[in-house]
Each structure stands twice: as structure tokens, then as C-alpha cells.
């Protein structure tokens, strides 16, 4: 049996040790609970958004379409948009509608032939490359394909990870 200061030191150490085990056993699951992504996966289905033949050549068309999205515990059907650019008789790409700076919706400016963001004046070329302003990278694109003359989009891929048309112009 320990006595005096040894006993006291042992007790203090035991209190701290047991406290640490409890904190860890609660803290670790709490952190994974908060930080791990949910197991829900969004099935990437292709959605028809436009007839390629009806799209204007040389300028983007803003297309609004609705898609299903898993939102936590529900599946919501929501409207979203894409700027679709026809690049040939069988080709097109689709830009995601949010500025890569802070997510504001940008618009096509016909006069200067560029996309401009109303929030902090970032501008992008028709293929999404950054022309000016604080935007850190090119506009994100939807996965897209043309099937039987219809433009179809899938999920949005960050321009950073795709590397398709790089960072600042």
C-alpha cells in the first residue's frame, strides 16, 4: 500500500489517466461523427439539358434544368443551371454556374464576350479561364457528353482536380 506523497501522486495520475481515456473514447467518435462524410452517395445520372442543334455557335447558353440531389436524409429535386457552350457539330461542354471565388452566379457579357461575376468583378473567357479578378481558378465544368444530338451533364468536376483548362490565364 502506498503512503504519503507517493500515494497522492498515484491518485492524481490515476484521476488524470482515467479522465483521458473517457475523453478519448467520447472525443474520437464525436470528431469522426462531425468530420466524416456521410455514406450517402449521389448516383451520377446523365441528364438531358439541351438539343445541340438548337444551341447558338460561339456564345454560351444558360440552361436551367432540374436534378435530384441527396440532401442529408432526403432526396430533393431542385433547379440548377449550366452555361452550355457548343464547340462543334457533335461537341459541347457545360460550365457550372458558380464563380470559383466565392460562389456568386456569374453572367455572360455579350459586348466584351466574357463571363463576369457581379460580386468581385472576376471575369472568365468563354472556355472558363480566369481573365481578371480574384477568382483562384478556372470555372468548374460538368461532366458532359452528347448522345443522339442531346447534350447531357453529369456531376460537377472542380477545374483544379480536372486540370482541364488550368488555373489563371
Q: CA angle, 158 as apex, 155 and 162 as ends, to 5°?
A: 100
Q: Which of 2, 30, 105, 121 binds other proteins (CB under 8 A)?
A: 30
Question: Does residue 76 bind other proteins (CB under 8 A)?
Answer: no
Question: Does residue 20 bind other proteins (CB under 8 A)?
Answer: no
Q: Left if phi > 0, otherwise alpha if psi is -120 to 50, otherwise beta: which for 54?
A: alpha
Q: Which residue has the cell 462524410?
A: 37
Q: Which of 14, 105, 132, 147 binds other proteins (CB under 8 A)?
A: 14
| Among the listed residues 101, 82, 97, 104, the one whose alpha carbon sits nearest the alpha carbon of residue 152 | 82
Are the CB atoms for 135 and 101 separated by under 8 Å? yes
**DSSP per-residue letters across 31-96:** HHHHHSPPS-------EEEEEGGGSPBSS-EEEEEEEEEEETTEEEEEEEEEEEEEEETTEEEEE-
Q: Which of 1, 4, 5, 39 binds other proteins (CB under 8 A)?
A: 39
Candidate segments 5-13, 77-85, 91-99, 134-142, binder of other proteins by CB under 8 A = 5-13
Candidate segments 22-30, 117-125, 127-135, 154-162, binder of other proteins by CB under 8 A = 22-30
Q: Report in angstroms how near the CB of residue 23 gets to other proteins at its nearest.
A: 10
Question: Does residue 22 bind other proteins (CB under 8 A)?
Answer: yes
Question: Does residue 44 bind other proteins (CB under 8 A)?
Answer: no
Residues in the site for other proteins, rule: CB under 8 A?
Answer: 8, 11-12, 14-15, 18-19, 21-22, 25-26, 29-30, 32-34, 36, 38-40, 72-74
Amino acid at each position: 500500500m502506498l503512503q504519503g506523497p507517493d500515494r497522492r501522486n498515484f491518485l492524481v495520475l490515476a484521476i488524470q489517466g482515467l479522465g483521458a481515456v473517457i475523453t478519448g473514447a467520447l472525443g474520437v467518435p464525436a470528431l469522426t461523427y462531425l468530420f466524416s462524410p456521410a455514406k450517402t452517395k449521389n448516383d451520377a445520372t446523365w441528364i438531358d439539358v439541351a438539343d445541340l442543334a438548337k444551341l447558338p455557335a460561339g456564345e454560351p447558353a444558360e440552361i436551367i434544368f432540374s436534378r435530384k440531389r441527396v440532401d442529408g436524409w432526403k432526396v430533393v429535386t431542385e433547379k440548377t443551371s449550366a452555361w452550355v457552350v457548343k464547340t462543334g457539330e457533335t461537341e459541347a461542354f457545360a460550365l457550372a454556374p458558380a464563380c470559383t471565388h466565392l460562389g456568386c452566379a456569374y453572367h455572360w457579357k455579350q459586348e466584351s464576350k466574357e463571363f463576369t461575376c457581379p460580386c468581385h468583378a472576376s471575369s472568365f473567357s468563354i472556355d472558363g479561364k480566369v481573365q481578371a479578378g480574384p477568382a483562384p481558378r478556372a470555372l468548374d465544368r460538368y461532366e458532359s457528353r452528347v448522345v443522339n444530338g442531346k447534350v447531357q451533364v453529369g456531376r460537377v468536376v472542380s477545374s483544379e482536380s480536372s486540370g482541364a483548362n488550368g488555373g489563371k490565364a
